[in-house]
Amino acid sequence: MNSKPPSGRCLKQNILLAVNNLPPMPQVMHKARDIIQNPISGLKDIGDLIESDQALAMKTLRLANSAYYSRMGKVSSVQEAAVVLGLRVLGELITVAFMSKALCSSLKGYDLPAESLWRHSLAVAVGSRIIANKKYPALANEAFSAGLIHDVGKLILDRYILQRKEEFLEFLAGGEQVFLVAEKEILGFDHAEIASEVCKRWNFPKSISVAVKYHHHPSLLRGNKLAYIVHVADEIAILSGMDIEGITFEIDDKSIQKIGIQNNEIELIVDEVMKSVNQITGLIEDGT
Ligand SMILES: [Fe+2]
Ligand SMILES: [Fe+2]
């Protein structure tokens, strides 16, 4: 006889344990962050670090030569890429390379094929960076990272949803409830809360873990620009055809107004996001 999966407090503990059991962020990510944050460290340090990981070195070169990152001609070595791109972009490349591995699996509980989560996350990252560059340039780097990791909670919750698929279908049957509420009601956490826990586990800055926690309800965090940016970029990813939130995604009406973005700008961002995601995913899918 099948035993019933745990619920209530026991289930919540299991989910938090799953977050704690996630593999730690690779050393190369930590080192890269240290180097980028330490103004004394030079481009050579980060170049050496990237060269110590062959797969990362290949991806860096490929990305550095892509139209998205470089408009300055071909580069043939990691050290050259470091000079052309600078520390910030190299840090971003390392994050993209790591997250592409972490986010590319299929999610059976959410009915998402392989790479849907990855493409969506990348679209939100790129969209967040574009919006930040237009309205709050100082937030551009954080916006990119927050966008990339905002839905990582789905990776954790997926198997718990799969175990309780019928309960979810029943909860959603009337068409009045959204999936996010089903997560909270049935599992005790929604994917945004769990994504925020993953940010803590992976030592992301607090500003990112907070924005990620409220990416579906940015108005609850008065004045947090980062949460609004990720929320609007989530909507833009959906408009760009990279939707994993489903028709149940509820746009927070105040967010577009708060960010100060116009409708004609949104159309342009959608185009740019689609182009950039296709470029980056094409470059990163090299089987390494
Ligand atoms: Fe989400
Ligand atoms: Fe999302």
Label residue 288 by pLDDT band (50, 70, 90). Answer: very low
What pLDDT, on a 0 to 100 scale, did the predictor assign at position 171?
94
H helices of the chain, in order, are: 8-20, 27-37, 43-51, 54-64, 78-102, 116-135, 140-149, 153-163, 165-172, 179-182, 191-201, 206-213, 225-239, 253-259, 263-284
How many A from CA of 137 to the centre of ligand 2? 22
Does residue 145 form part of some domain?
A: yes
- pLDDT tops 90 at residue 119: yes
How many A from CA of 27 to the centre of ligand 2? 27
H helices of 187-224, in order, are: 191-201, 206-213
Label residue 203 by pLDDT band (50, 70, 90). Answer: confident
Query: Tell me: the pLDDT tens digits for 20-47?
Result: 998 888 787 888 777 777 767 777 888 8
Q: Which ligand is nearest to the CA of 124?
A: 2
Label residue 184 by pLDDT band (50, 70, 90). Answer: very high
- Evaluate whether 124 touches 163 at the Cβ level (below 8 Å): no
- Evaluate whether 156 touches 19 at the Cβ level (below 8 Å): yes
Does residue 3 form part of some domain?
A: no
Least confident range from 70-84, 98-112, 162-176: namely 70-84
What pLDDT, on a 0 to 100 scale, did the predictor assign at position 286?
52
Domain harbouring 187, CATH code: 1.10.3210.10
Label residue 15 by pLDDT band (50, 70, 90). Answer: very high
Show Cβ contacts of residue 146 under 8 Å, excluding neighbours closer than 6 positions. 125, 128, 208, 211, 212, 215, 226, 229, 230
196/125 Cα distance (integer angstroms): 16
Tell me the one-letter amino acid at 239.
L
Least confident range from 105-109, 212-216, 284-288: namely 284-288
- pLDDT tops 90 at residue 187: yes
Place of tokens 């070195």: 57
Does residue 243 form part of some domain?
A: yes
How many A from CA of 216 to the centre of ligand 1? 6
What pLDDT, on a 0 to 100 scale, did the predictor assign at position 241?
85
Does residue 214 form part of some domain?
A: yes
Does residue 2 form part of some domain?
A: no
* CB neighbour class for 1 (10 Å; exposed up to 12, middle 13-18, buried from 19): exposed
How many A from CA of 71 to the centre of ligand 2? 29
How many A from CA of 277 to the centre of ligand 1? 18
- pLDDT tops 70 at residue 246: no
- Evaluate whether 38 touches 91 at the Cβ level (below 8 Å): no
203/191 Cα distance (integer angstroms): 18
How many A from CA of 255 to the centre of ligand 2? 15
What pLDDT, on a 0 to 100 scale, did the predictor assign at position 39?
66
How many A from CA of 47 to the centre of ligand 2? 32
How many A from CA of 122 to the centre of ligand 2? 10
Tell me how many domains the chain contains.
Answer: 1
Does residue 169 form part of some domain?
A: yes
CA angle 258, 261, 265 (to 5 degrees): 165
Does residue 1 form part of some domain?
A: no
Q: Whole domain around residue 192: which residue ranges?
A: 8-284
Q: Which ligand is nearest to the CA of 213?
A: 1
Query: Tell me: the pLDDT tens digits for 249-270?
Result: 677 778 888 899 888 899 999 9
- Evaluate whether 143 touches 88 at the Cβ level (below 8 Å): no
Structure tokens at 223: 């004045």
How many A from CA of 101 to the centre of ligand 2? 18
How many A from CA of 266 to the centre of ligand 2? 17
How many A from CA of 286 to the centre of ligand 1? 27
Pick the residue with more confidence: 91 or 99? 99
- pLDDT tops 80 at residue 84: no
How many A from CA of 39 to the centre of ligand 2? 33
CA angle 43, 101, 225 (to 5 degrees): 70
How many A from CA of 13 to the centre of ligand 2? 25
